[in-house]
C-alpha cells in the first residue's frame, strides 16, 4: 500500500472530471517543511505561527520571525505558503502577553482580537511576513474573524506595513489576503466578507466547536463532537457558495479536510483546496483522483 501511494508522487491532483483540487499541507514549524516536500504536497495551506511565540519569555522580534518565514518560503521554492497570523489565547498561552485570566478563554481575548488590540505586535509579524514574501509565494490569513470591520481594519494595517516597507526600499511580493472561516458569524456574513478577501480557509476544528457549542478540548464530549453534523456541513457549503459568488477561492484547513469519507462531498460542494497534515497528502490525492 505504501508503495502504491509512492507512485502518486508527481501526479496531478485532479478529479475524474478534470477539476484540479489544490492539495496543500498544514505545518506548525520550520522543520515540518521536509515532510511537506517528501510527500509531494503542492503548497502550505496553513502555517500556524504560534510556535514562534510559545515557550519563551519575550515577543519574537521581526528579524527572528523573518528568518523563519524566509526559510520556509525559500524551501518551498515558489509553491504557495499561507501563513496564519498569531492565534494565541484559548488553549495556547504565553505569560508575557499578560492576558488576564478568563472564564471562557475559547471565547475570550484571543487571536485577531489580540492583534487588533496590540497593533505593534501585529505589525511586527506582518512586516516579517511581507519581507519574507520577496523570496517566493506567500499569502497571509487571519484567524477567528467575526466581522467586516475587523477585515477592513486589518487591511488598513496591512497597507501601513506595505507603505513603510516601500519607503524603506524593502522589497516584498504579491501577497494574497485571506481569512479563516471558523466562527458561525463569519459563515453567516460570508457574502459580505468574500468581496474583501482573495480566499477563505475553513477552520473546521473551531467551526465545529462554535456551531455545536461543544468545547473541542473536552474529551468527555467526544461522542457528540461531530464534525459530520449536518449543521457543520451546511456551514461549509454556504461558505464555499459565498466565496465563489464573489470571486474568492475557498479551502478547508481544519482536520475535516483529511476526512476521506467526506472528500467526494467536498468536491461536490465545489471546494478548491484541501490543506491537511503532510502524511495524508498522497492518500488524499488518490481519493481525489478517484472522485467524479
* Sites of contact with ligand PEP (CB under 6 A): 46, 48, 87, 182, 203-206, 253-254
Q: Which is nearer to ligand PEP, 65 or 201 (by Cβ)?
A: 201
Residue 80 binding: pick among Mg ion, ligand PEP, none (C-beta 5-8 Å cut-off by kind) = none
- Smallest separation, CB 143 to ligand PEP (Å): 7
Between strands 137-142 and 43-48, the pairing is unpaired
Residue 43 binding: pick among ligand PEP, Mg ion, none (C-beta 5-8 Å cut-off by kind) = none
- Smallest separation, CB 20 to Mg ion (Å): 26
Contact 186, 148 (CB under 8 A): no
Q: Which is nearer to ligand PEP, 46 or 282 (by Cβ)?
A: 46
- Smallest separation, CB 46 to ligand PEP (Å): 6
- d(C-alpha 166, C-alpha 87), whole Å: 28
- d(C-alpha 249, C-alpha 222), whole Å: 32
Q: Dmax of the chain from CA atoms?
A: 55
- Smallest separation, CB 250 to ligand PEP (Å): 14
Residue 204 binding: pick among ligand PEP, Mg ion, none (C-beta 5-8 Å cut-off by kind) = ligand PEP
Residue appearing with cell numbers 487571519? 142
239, HSE (Cβ side, Cα atoms, 13 Å):
29
Encoded one letter per residue, x for contact with Mg ion by CB under 5 A and - for no contact, window 151-190 reads -------------------------------x--------
Contact 83, 139 (CB under 8 A): yes
- CA 202 from chain centre, in angstroms, equals 8
Contact 250, 271 (CB under 8 A): yes
Question: Total binding residues for Mg ion by CB under 5 A?
Answer: 3
60 lies in the site for Mg ion, by CB under 5 A: no
Residue 272 binding: pick among Mg ion, ligand PEP, none (C-beta 5-8 Å cut-off by kind) = none
The residues pairing with 177 across neighbouring beta strands, listed in sequence order, are 140
Closest-by-Cβ residue to Mg ion is 206
Q: Which is nearer to Mg ion, 24 or 130 (by Cβ)?
A: 24
Q: Which is nearer to ligand PEP, 131 or 216 (by Cβ)?
A: 216
Encoded one letter per residue, x for contact with Mg ion by CB under 5 A and - for no contact, window 187-216 reads ----------------x--x----------
- Smallest separation, CB 83 to ligand PEP (Å): 13
Q: Which is nearer to ligand PEP, 182 or 259 (by Cβ)?
A: 182
Residues that bind Mg ion (CB under 5 A): 182, 203, 206
Amino acid at each position: 500500500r505504501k508503495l502504491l501511494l509512492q507512485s502518486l508522487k508527481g501526479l496531478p491532483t485532479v478529479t475524474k472530471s478534470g477539476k484540479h483540487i489544490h492539495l496543500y499541507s498544514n505545518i506548525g514549524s520550520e522543520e515540518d517543511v521536509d515532510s511537506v516536500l517528501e510527500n509531494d504536497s503542492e503548497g502550505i495551506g496553513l502555517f500556524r505561527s504560534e510556535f514562534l511565540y510559545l515557550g519563551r519569555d519575550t515577543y519574537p522580534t521581526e528579524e527572528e520571525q523573518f528568518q523563519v518565514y524566509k526559510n520556509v518560503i525559500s524551501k518551498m521554492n515558489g509553491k504557495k505558503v499561507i501563513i496564519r497570523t498569531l492565534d494565541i489565547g484559548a488553549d495556547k498561552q504565553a505569560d508575557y502577553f499578560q492576558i488576564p485570566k478568563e472564564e471562557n478563554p475559547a471565547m475570550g481575548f484571543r487571536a485577531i482580537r489580540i492583534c487588533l488590540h496590540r497593533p505593534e505586535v501585529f505589525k511586527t509579524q506582518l512586516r516579517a511576513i511581507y519581507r519574507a514574501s520577496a523570496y517566493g509565494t506567500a499569502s497571509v490569513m487571519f484567524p477567528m474573524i467575526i466581522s467586516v470591520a475587523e477585515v477592513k481594519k486589518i487591511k488598513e494595517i496591512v497597507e501601513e506595513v506595505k507603505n513603510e516597507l516601500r519607503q524603506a526600499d524593502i522589497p516584498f511580493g504579491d501577497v494574497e489576503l485571506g481569512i479563516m472561516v471558523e466562527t458561525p458569524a463569519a459563515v453567516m456574513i460570508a457574502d459580505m466578507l468574500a468581496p474583501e478577501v482573495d480566499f477563505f480557509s475553513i477552520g473546521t476544528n473551531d467551526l465545529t466547536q462554535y456551531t455545536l457549542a461543544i468545547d473541542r478540548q473536552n474529551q468527555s464530549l467526544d461522542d457528540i463532537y461531530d464534525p459530520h453534523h449536518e449543521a457543520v456541513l451546511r456551514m461549509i457549503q454556504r461558505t464555499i457558495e459565498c466565496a465563489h459568488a464573489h470571486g474568492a477561492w475557498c479551502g478547508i484547513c481544519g482536520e475535516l479536510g483529511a476526512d476521506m469519507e467526506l472528500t467526494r462531498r467536498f468536491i461536490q460542494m465545489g471546494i478548491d483546496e484541501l490543506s491537511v497534515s503532510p502524511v495524508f497528502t498522497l492518500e488524499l490525492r488518490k481519493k481525489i483522483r478517484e472522485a467524479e
